[in-house]
Structure 1
Amino acid sequence: MTQNITSAPLIGRDHELDRLLGVLERARSGEARAVLVAGDAGVGKTRVLDEVAARAARDGMTVLTGHCVDLGDVGLPYLPFTEVLGVVAGDVRFAEVLAAHPVVDRMLGGGTDAARDSRLQLFEGMAGLLADLADVAPLLLVLEDLHWADQSSRDLLRFLLSRGVLQRPAGGVAVVASYRADDLHRRHPLRPLLAELVRLPSVERLELRPLADSEVARLVRALEVRPLPETTVRRIVERAEGNAFYAEELLAATDTEAGGVPSGLADVLLIRFEQLSDTAQQVLRTAAVAGRRVEHDLLREAVGLPEEELESALREALGRQLLVPGDGDTYAFRHALAREAVYADLLPGERARLHGAFAGLLAARPRRAETAAERAHHYRESHDLAEALTASLEAADHAGRVGAPAEELRHLETALDLWPSVDPAARPSGEHGDRVALTLRASSAAAHAGAAHRAVALTRSALAGVDQEENSELAARVRYTLAGNLITVDNLSAAYAHSNEALALIPAEPPTPTWVWAAATHVLAARQVGENDTALKMARRALKVAEQLAITDARADLLISLAVLEGAGRRSPENRARLREARELARSSGNAPVELRALFSLAMGHFEAGELEESLPWLTEGLDRARRAGLLSSAYPLEMRYLRLVLLYTLGRWDECVRAATADAQVLPASGAYTSGPAWYVAVARGDLAAAEGSRVLLEGPFDWMGTLVAGIVRTDAAALAGDPEAAVERMRSTVAALTDEAGTHPDVTVRLAALALSAVADRAAELRLGGDEGGARHWADIATELVESARDSAVRGGDRSPQGPEGMAWLARAEAEWLRATSGPDAEAWGRAVAAFDYGDLYELARCRLRFAEALLTAERREEAAVEAAAVRETAVRLGARPLLERVDALIRRGRLADRASAADRTSPLTAREQDVLRLLAQGRSNRQIGEELFISGKTASVHVSNILAKLGAASRGEAVAVAYREGLITPEPSASG
C-alpha cells in the first residue's frame, strides 16, 4: 500500500530547503526577499513549496498562495493575485487592512469602471496591502507556475519586486515563485522578466535539479509501505531519471506482484487514471476541461451527477491523489501533467461538448465580466464561434477596465480572428459592431502596451478594410492614425504620404474636427521629412480652424508644433510661453497625450537653451502625468525618460543616472531600450568599452531612430577611447547615414559624433606627425577636414535655419579644436573656446576639453595655467569615476611635471581658472549678464560662479568678495585711464 504522497518525507532537497527557510527567517526579522524557484515539470517544486509554506504557517507567518493556470491563448488578468485577494477577503483578521486599500477591489471586480489610467494606483495599492499585511504578521507570498502567468500578472510581479514590497524599509515579506524551466522556449514572455528580476539585489534564483539515483530510490521506498523488490526499485529509478513526480507515478501504476512498469509517462498517467471507476473517470475528464482547478458547484453542474455519486467519485480521485482539495471548496489536479494527459485522452466530440457545458454554466452566473475570458476559451473550444466572439469582446472590455492593455489587445485580436467566421447576423452590434473600429481600438491597445510595430500592423489592417467611398471621414481617421503610428516607428516618408492622403479625403470647407486633426498630424509628418515650410503654413492655418471650432486639445497640439517650427524654436522665451499655454489647454481638455507632448517640449526647450537644472522639473511633472494616465510606454514619456538620464549624465550625477536606468529597464517595453543610453555613456566613460558591444542590441530588429542614435554615440566614443580612428570614423559615418532624412538633412547629433571621431583622428595624425610620417598625417588631416565640415553643417544647419543651442555649439567648438590639433597641432585659444562653450553644465565634456586645453597650454609653455587645468580635470575624473580620463590626466601631470606647480597654484588661490576670470570681471563692476556675454556663458552659469566665489572667500556680498580678493592678492588693481 502506497502512503499518502503529500505526507511522505521530503528527500534530497536539504540544501534548497535550507536556503528557503533562511529567506523566511530574514522575513521574520523584517527583511524582504524573493526567490524564483526553477525546475522541470515534476521535479518537485510544488512539494518543496508546500513544505516551506507549512513551516512558515507553523512559525506564525501569514501564507498566501496564488496559482497561474494554462488556458491556451486566453489571459486571465492578475489571476494569481485575485486568488490571493480572495483568501484575504475571506479572513476576518484582515478586513480592516483590506478596507484601507479599496483600489485593489478592482481585481476582484468591485468598484466602478475605472479607467486604465489607474493601473499604477492598482499596483501601488497591491504593494501597500501586502506591506500592511506584513505589519500584522510576517508574510509569505507563494506564486506557482509563473510560466502560465498573464502579462498583467508579470507586470505586477515586476513592480512588487523592483519598486514595491521588497523596497519598503519595514520588510517582513518573503515572495517565493515557481516556474517550469523546461517550458521556457527562447521567445517565452517570462524569460525577459526573469532576466530583469535576478539582477535585483533582493531577488535570488533557486534551481531544483533532478534527484540523484540514490535519492529517487529512497523516495520510492519511503512512499511504499510494503517491501519492494530491488529490481522494481531499480527500474523505477532508471525510468524516473531524477524526476520525483515520474517516480511517484511509476510506483503508483506498478503491479508490484509482476514488477512491470509502463514504457512512457503518458501511459503511466493514463494507467493510473484507468484504475478508477467509470464514474470517477467521468468526473476527472470533466474537471480536466475546466482546467487544473475547478469549483465543486461548477463541476457538479457540468458532470450532471447526483451529489452522492459525485462525492463518491471525488473521494476515489482524492484517495488515488489524482485530485487534491483546494481553498474555497475547489479541487485541483495534483500535477498539471496529470490534467494534460487526461485532457489529451478525450474524444474530440466529448471535449467540445464539455467545453460548451462549462461556457453555458459560466454565462448563467453573476459577475459575467470576470468570467468573460474563461467563457471565450470554452466557447472557442466548443466551436461556438459567435458566442466566443461576444465573450472575447467582453473580456477585452474587462481587461481595459482593470488596466491590462496586453490582455485587452489579445482578446481584441482573438475577436478580429473570429470575425470572418461568424455570420454577420450573429455579430455584436453597437460599438462592437464595426470591424474597422475594433481594429483601430486594438491598435490603440497595442500602442498603450508599448507594441509600436504591432500598432502599425493593426492600423494597416484597418486601412485595408475601410471603404473610403462609403465613409470618407473614417478613411481619413484611419490614415492619419496610421501616419501617427508610422512616425513612432520612424517610417517617416510613409507617414507623410498617409497624412497627405488623409487631408485629401476631407474637404477643408466646411471645417470639421477630423480635418483639424488630419492637418495636425500632417504638420508632424511634414516636419519629420524636412518639409518645414509646408508644416509651418499648415500649422498656422489649422490653428485658426481649431480656434474657430473651439477644439481645445487640437489648439494645444498645433501651438506646440508652432513653438517648435517658428523662430528660435523651443529654447526661445516666446515659444516656451506658447508651450506653457498649450500645456494648460491640453490639461483643461483632458487630452493626456497632447499634455505630455507639451511637457516634453518644455523640458527640451530648457535643455536646448543650456538651462539643465530648469529642465528637470518639467520632466518630473511629465513622467508623473504619464503614470497617472497609464501612458508610460508611449512615445513622449519614453523620450522624457531618456532626457532625464541625459541630464543626470550631463550634470555629473552618474550613479543616480545608472540607478534610474536600471529601475526604468524593469518596467519599459522593448521599444524603450534606448532610454538607458546615458547609462551606457557612463559605462564607456568609466572604462567599460565592452558596453559598446552591448549597445548593438539597439540595432537589432526593426529600425529605431533613437536606438540607432544612442548606439552610434556609445560605439563611436568607445572606438575613440580605444584609439581606433578607423572604427570611430566608420561608426560615425554609418550612424549619420542611417539617421539622415529623406530630404538629405543630417541629424543634429552629427556634430557630436564628428567631434568624438575627430578626437581619435587627431590622436593618430599627431602620432604620425611626431614619427615623421607626413604622408600619413596628411591623410588623417584630410579626414579631419571632412569631419569638421559635417560638424559645421550640422551645428549651423546652413541656409536660413537657426543654429543649434549651447550643446550643439559646444560640440562644434570641440570639433574645431580637434580639427586644428589634427591639421596643425594643439591650439590653446581653440581649446579655451571649447572649455568656455561646455561651461553651460556638461561636467564630463568640460573636463575632457580642459585636459586638451592643459595639453595645449603645456605645449605653449604656459605651465602654471596648464597645472591649474590639469588639477581641475583630475578632481572631476575622480569624482565621476572616469578611469580613462584619470589615467590620461595623470600621465599628462607626470609627463609635464605639473604636480608641484598645481600645488603651488592651489596654495596661491582657492579659485578655479574660470572663477578667476569671473572675479576679474566682478572687480570691474560687471553684472552677471555682462560676465556671461564676455565669457560666452549663460547669465545663470555666471551667477553660479559668483556664488561659489562668495562662498570660497567667505564674503557676504560682491563688493566684499572683491575687497577680500585685493587683500589676499588674488587680483591686482588695474590702472585707470589717467594712469
Structure 2
Amino acid sequence: MAQIFGTPFIGREGELARLTGTLERAAAGDPRAVLLAGDAGVGKTRILTEAAAHAAATGTTVLTGHCVDLGDVGLPYLPFTEILGAAAADERLAPAFAAHPAVDRLIGQARGTAPDPGSRLQLFEGIAGLLADLADLAPLLLVVEDLHWADQSSRDLLRFLLSRGVLRLPLFASYRTDDLHRRHPLRPLLAELIRLPAVDRLDLRPMADADVARLVRALGDAPVPDSTVRRIVDRAEGNAFYAEELLAALPGDEGLGSLGDVLLIRIEQLSETTQQVLRTAAVAGRRVGHDLLRDAVRLPLGELESALREAVGHQLLLPDDDGSYSFRHALTREAVYADLLPGERVRLHGLFAELLGRPGHPPSSAAERAHHSRESHDLADALSASLEAAGHAQRVGAPAEELRHLESALDLWTAVDPPDRPADTDPVALTLRASSAAAHAGDPHRAVQLTRHALAQAGPDTDSELAARVRYTLAGNLIRIDHLEAAFTYSSEALALIPAEPPSRTWVWAAATHVLAARNVGRDEDAEQVARQALAVAEELRLADAQADLMVSLVGLSPDNRRTARGRERLTRARDLARAAGNLRVEMRALYSLALGCYESGDMDACLTWLGDGIDRARRAGLLSSPYALELRYLQSLLLYTLGRWDECARTAAADTELLPAAGGFTTAPALYVALGRGELDAAVAGARTLLSGPADWMATLVASIVLTDAAALRGAADDSARQVRTAIDALAENSSTTLPDVVVRLAALALSPVADAAETARLSGDAAGAAHWSGVAEELVGLARTTAARDDDGTPQGPEGLAWLARAEAERTRAATGPDVPAWERAVAAFGYGDPYELARCRRRLAEALLTADRREEAAEQVRAALDTAVRLGAGPLREDLAALVRRGRLAAAPAADDRIAALTSRESDVLRLLGRGLTNRRIGEELFISGKTASVHVSNILAKLGAASRTEAVGIAYREGLIEPEPVENG
C-alpha cells in the first residue's frame, strides 16, 4: 500500500494490536483473515495502512487490491487482478506464475497453453495455488479495500479462498457498514465468512471523544483553542476523517452542516488548476492512472505536476506505486463529483470514454468505457463497449459480469439507431447469448426468462434455423427447471420449423433436445423414433458430440439400460465420443448416467470411480455448477451418506456450498440426512424448509421431502409423516412423467415406522378402533410403496435400494397389522446389506425387537450389538438411544456402550485427545506434553481405535458429542 499519512495514529492501538497479532500468527503457521468493518471515514484505510507498514517493517510484502464504484458496471476480479499484477511485477515472485497458466488471462498475459477460458473453478484453484507458492517465496499480506463495491466474481473468489481453507497467507479486507442496505449483495457473503474458524471480524467503532480531541490537538500547526476542539469533537461524532477535515477547513467551517460541505470548503482553497485536476480525477473514479489523467486534463506537464503536488500536499490525492493517483478517501471523491455541473459531468465522462476507446488500452477497460459512455449519453459507444466488456468477462471466467454487460447491451439496443448497432449480431442472438451466460452463472430461471424474451423477439421474418435454435434452447432451459410439458411443446415446435432434409446440425440438436423432452413426459415411442433417425444423421454429418448425446438417450430407452453391463459399455462409448469432440456438457451427462447406473444396481465401488472421474472432469473444466455436474455432486454426497461416511459427507457439503448457485442447493442436501441421523432434527428441518423456499426445483423438493418425512417419523408423529408423504407425491408428480416418482417407496417406508408404532400402541392398549385406523393408513402407504417399487420411473425394475425400502415397508406394514415379524425383518436386513449401514442398523433394531417377542434373546442381543457398533461409529444418537432402551427393556447383554469404551482411555490419552480438539499436530502435542512426536502419534492411533474413528477429525467429533472434551471459548472481535 502506497498510502502516505501525515496524521498521527491515535485511538486505535487496540485494533492495530489485533491486526499485528494476526500477522504474528500467520508467521507462526496460522494464517487468518480479518474483515474490517466500519462507517465511511471512521479510519479503516488508516489502520490498514498502519498494519501494512508494520508488516513491511518485519519483511512482509503487502499486496493490495481495490474495489471501485462504477454504478452497475462490473469489473470482474478487479482487486485480485491488482494483487496478482503487483506480484507479477515483483522479480522475486514472478517465477511462480509459470506453474499456474490459468491465472495468466486475469493479468493480461495469457499464453497459448492457457486453459479453456470458461474454466472458472480452474481459475480459482490456479489463484489459490499461485498464492500458496508466492507465500513460500516470501511472507505476504493481502489487503482488499472497499469490499462493499466488489463485483460478484471477486466475492465468489474470496468465498472460495476462505471457505475452503486454501488461503495460506493472511488477508485483511475492509468494507463500509453504512453502505450495506438490507439487500446488499455482500451481506450473505459476510454472514457465511464470519462463521468460519479462520475468519475474524474487527469492527471499527466511532472514536471516543477524548481520542478525537487528542487527534485534533496533534494535527494543529499551532495550539488549537479548547472551544474549537469541543466544537469539532461534537460535530465529528467519533469520525476521524470528519474531524481532520473540520480542522483543515478552519476558519471557514462555521455554518457548514455536512462533511461534503467541509470538503468542498477545503478544495475551494486550492488553485483553480488543482481544482480542475481534482474534478477530472473524480470522474475517472477513486483511482486514475497518470497518463489517462494527463490526457484528460490537457494541461502543460509543468502545470499538471504543480497541481498534483498541491493536491498531494493537502492529502487529497495519494500517489500509488504503479504511477496512479488515488483520492485519499472515497468521501472526498464523492463530494467533488457531486459538485460538478451536469454539463461538466457529461463532458468529462465523454472525454474518458474517448480516451479509453483508443488503441493501447487493455480489454478490461471496456467496462469502464461502457460506464463513461452511458454517463455521457453516447449510447452507441456504450453498446459497443458493453459487448466488448461481456467478451472480456467471458474470457476471464466471470459469467455474472458477462450477464450484466449483455443485459446492459440489450437495454441499449432499442435506444441506438440501427446504423450505429453492431453489424455482426442481432437482438435475438444477443438474448440467446445472455441466456447462456445466465445458465453458466447458475441462474436457470433467468436463463428461461431471457430465452422466452428471445422467442418473443423472433418474428415471422426470423431465419428458420435461428427460430428453431431459440425454441430448443428454451426447451433445454425449461427441462432444467422441471417445466417438462412446456419443454416438450417447444422442442416439438423446433423440429417442425426445420426439415430433416437436407441434413443439418441445427436439426440434429433440435432432435436431441426433443428426445430428452419427450422422455421426460413419458413419450418413449416418439423419443426412440426421433433418436434413431437423428443418430443416423449425426453419424452422417460426423457430429460426434450429438452422437454421444443421442446414444445416452437411447440407452435409457433400451432394455440394456444404465444398470446393465451392456448399457454401461454404450455409455462409456458415448463419454469417449463427447470427450473427443470437446463437448463437456454431453460428457458430463454420460458420466452422470454411468455413475447413477452403478448406484442403482448396487455397485458402489464402480459408482465411486465414475463419480471421481466426472467430478474431476467438471473441476478441471470449471463446470462444477453446471447441469449434470451438480447431479454428480449430489450423487457423491448421497453415496458418502449411504456408505456411512457421514463426516466426509458433511465436510464435502460445507466445502461445496461456497460455489453453488441458488438452484444447486440440493447438491449438499444429504448432509441434512446426516443431521437427522445424529439427532439434529431442528437444523435438518430448517435446511429442508430453506430448500423449499427457493425457486421451484424437483430435486430440492425430493430431498426436502425425505428430510421432512423422516424428521416427523423420528419424532413419532404418525399423522405428520403420512401427510408429508402425500404432500411430497403432489409436489413431485406435478412435473413427473409418472404418477408416482420412485422415491415414494422410501418416503412410504419412512412414514410407516411411526404409523406401525401407533398401531402397536393402540392394539396393546385395547383400542381396536385406533388399531384399525392405523392399520388402514399402513395399507395405504405400503400400497404406494408396492406400486412404485414394481417399476422404476423409467419403466425398468427397481434396483437394490428400491427393493430394500420395499422390504422395510412390508415389514412395517406387518408390524402395524399383527406385530413384529421375524422373517419380514430378516428380509429387510438382508436387503439393506447391499451397502447402507445406517438403514441396515435401523432394520437390525426392529429385527431385535421381533426376536425378543419370539423369545430369541441371544439372537436379539447379537442384532443389538451389530446395530450399536454402527450407531456409535456414525454418531447416530437417536438410534443409539433406541438401542439402549431396547437393551434395558429386554435385559439384554449387549456390547459395551460408547461411554464404556471411551472410559477405557488412559489419562495420557485423554490429555492427547484434548490437544487433538485444539487442532494440534503430533509434534505440537508432543511439545505440550513433553513427549516425542512419535509417542504422541502412538497415542493418537490408540485413541482412534478406541473411539472407532477413521480420522483425527472424526475422533474429535465423537469426543465432542460424548462430552469428553469441551470446545474452547472463541474470542469474538
Q: Normalized against structure 2, the TM-score is what?
A: 0.89
Name the CA distance, whole Å, in 2 between partners of 1:382 and 1:800: 58
Tell me, which stretches of 5 or more residues in structure 2 are unaligned? Answer: 898-973
- Say which is worse superposed, 389-398 or 223-232, in terms of deviation: 223-232
* Residue 250 of structure 1: aligned partner: 246
Alignment equivalent of 2:187, drawn from 167, 187, 191: 191
> By how many angstroms is 1:99 displaced?
4.2
Alignment equivalent of 1:739, drawn from 718, 732, 736: 732
> By how many angstroms is 1:174 displaced?
1.0
> By how many angstroms is 1:215 displaced?
2.5
* Residue 428 of structure 2: aligned partner: 436
Aligned ranges 1:66-85 → 2 under 5 Å: 66-85=65-84
Alignment equivalent of 1:401, drawn from 395, 402, 406: 395
- Say which is worse superposed, 773-782 or 351-360, in terms of deviation: 773-782
| 1:555 is aligned to 2:556 | no
* Residue 106 of structure 1: aligned partner: 105
Alignment equivalent of 2:263, drawn from 258, 261, 269: 269
Name the CA distance, whole Å, in 1 between partners of 2:794 and 2:628: 29
> By how many angstroms is 1:410 displaced?
1.3
Alignment equivalent of 1:694, drawn from 687, 698, 708: 687
The AA in structure 2 aligned to 1:229 is P
Asked whether the 8 Å contact 2:432–2:470 carries over to 1, the reply is yes
> By how many angstroms is 1:724 displaced?
1.3
> By how many angstroms is 1:789 displaced?
0.8
SS at 2:363 equivalent? helix
Name the CA distance, whole Å, in 2 between partners of 1:555 and 1:892: 58
* Residue 967 of structure 2: aligned partner: none
RMSD: 2.0
Asked whether the 8 Å contact 1:751–1:790 carries over to 2, the reply is yes
> By how many angstroms is 1:123 displaced?
2.6
Aligned ranges 1:302-451 → 2 under 5 Å: 302-430=296-424, 433-451=425-443
Asked whether the 8 Å contact 1:530–1:745 carries over to 2, the reply is no
**Greater Rg over alpha carbons, structure:** 1
> By how many angstroms is 1:771 displaced?
2.1
| 1:776 is aligned to 2:777 | no
> By how many angstroms is 1:665 displaced?
0.3
| 1:11 is aligned to 2:10 | yes
* Residue 484 of structure 1: aligned partner: 476
* Residue 279 of structure 2: aligned partner: 285
Alpha-carbon displacement from aligned partner over 1:494-541 (angstroms, at most 9, x marks no partner): 111111111111223333222221111111111212223322332233
Asked whether the 8 Å contact 2:862–2:894 carries over to 1, the reply is no
| 1:200 is aligned to 2:193 | no
Give me the identity figure in percent: 67
Name the CA distance, whole Å, in 1 between partners of 2:720 and 2:247: 64
Alpha-carbon displacement from aligned partner over 1:854-887 (angstroms, at most 9, x marks no partner): 1111111111111100110111000000000000
> By how many angstroms is 1:164 displaced?
6.4
- Say which is worse superposed, 694-703 or 883-892, in terms of deviation: 694-703
* Residue 831 of structure 1: aligned partner: 825
Structure 1 residues 722 and 300: alpha-carbon distance in aligned structure 2, compared to 1, 3 A threshold: same
The AA in structure 2 aligned to 1:338 is T
Name the CA distance, whole Å, in 2 between partners of 1:799 and 1:445: 32
Asked whether the 8 Å contact 2:118–2:394 carries over to 1, the reply is no
SS at 1:206 equivalent? strand
* Residue 587 of structure 1: aligned partner: 579
* Residue 859 of structure 2: aligned partner: 865
* Residue 225 of structure 2: aligned partner: 229
Name the CA distance, whole Å, in 1 between partners of 2:374 and 2:782: 64
> By how many angstroms is 1:112 displaced?
4.5
Aligned ranges 1:654-669 → 2 under 5 Å: 654-669=646-661
The AA in structure 1 aligned to 2:261 is D
| 1:711 is aligned to 2:711 | no
| 1:647 is aligned to 2:643 | no
Aligned ranges 1:914-925 → 2 under 5 Å: none
Asked whether the 8 Å contact 1:220–1:248 carries over to 2, the reply is yes
* Residue 498 of structure 1: aligned partner: 490
SS at 1:38 equivalent? strand
* Residue 59 of structure 2: aligned partner: 60
Asked whether the 8 Å contact 1:130–1:165 carries over to 2, the reply is no
Aligned ranges 1:533-612 → 2 under 5 Å: 533-567=525-559, 569-612=561-604
* Residue 237 of structure 2: aligned partner: 241
Asked whether the 8 Å contact 1:750–1:790 carries over to 2, the reply is yes
The AA in structure 2 aligned to 1:13 is R
Asked whether the 8 Å contact 1:119–1:630 carries over to 2, the reply is yes
Tell me, which stretches of 5 or more residues in structure 1 are unaligned? Answer: 904-979
* Residue 23 of structure 1: aligned partner: 22
The AA in structure 1 aligned to 2:76 is P
Structure 1 residues 568 and 819: alpha-carbon distance in aligned structure 2, compared to 1, 3 A threshold: farther
Name the CA distance, whole Å, in 2 between partners of 1:754 and 1:802: 20
| 1:453 is aligned to 2:445 | yes
* Residue 141 of structure 2: aligned partner: 140
* Residue 155 of structure 2: aligned partner: 154
* Residue 968 of structure 1: aligned partner: none
* Residue 877 of structure 2: aligned partner: 883
SS at 1:92 equivalent? coil
Alpha-carbon displacement from aligned partner over 1:732-774 (angstroms, at most 9, x marks no partner): 2111110004555111111111111111111122122222222
Alignment equivalent of 2:606, drawn from 614, 625, 644: 614
Name the CA distance, whole Å, in 1 between partners of 2:516 and 2:794: 21
Name the CA distance, whole Å, in 1 between partners of 2:4 and 2:607: 63
* Residue 965 of structure 2: aligned partner: none
The AA in structure 2 aligned to 1:476 is A
Name the CA distance, whole Å, in 2 between partners of 1:627 and 1:886: 38
Q: Normalized against structure 1, the TM-score is what?
A: 0.88
Alpha-carbon displacement from aligned partner over 1:759-807 (angstroms, at most 9, x marks no partner): 1111122122222222122212211111111111111139993321111
| 1:899 is aligned to 2:893 | yes
| 1:790 is aligned to 2:784 | yes
Name the CA distance, whole Å, in 2 between partners of 1:11 and 1:260: 26
Asked whether the 8 Å contact 1:864–1:902 carries over to 2, the reply is no
> By how many angstroms is 1:5 displaced?
8.8
Asked whether the 8 Å contact 1:708–1:735 carries over to 2, the reply is yes
Name the CA distance, whole Å, in 1 between partners of 2:341 and 2:429: 39
Alignment equivalent of 1:730, drawn from 723, 726, 729: 723
SS at 1:183 equivalent? coil
Name the CA distance, whole Å, in 1 between partners of 2:773 and 2:165: 58
SS at 1:156 equivalent? helix
The AA in structure 2 aligned to 1:181 is T
* Residue 855 of structure 1: aligned partner: 849
The AA in structure 1 aligned to 2:96 is V
Alpha-carbon displacement from aligned partner over 1:303-357 (angstroms, at most 9, x marks no partner): 1211222222222222222211222221111111111111111111111110111
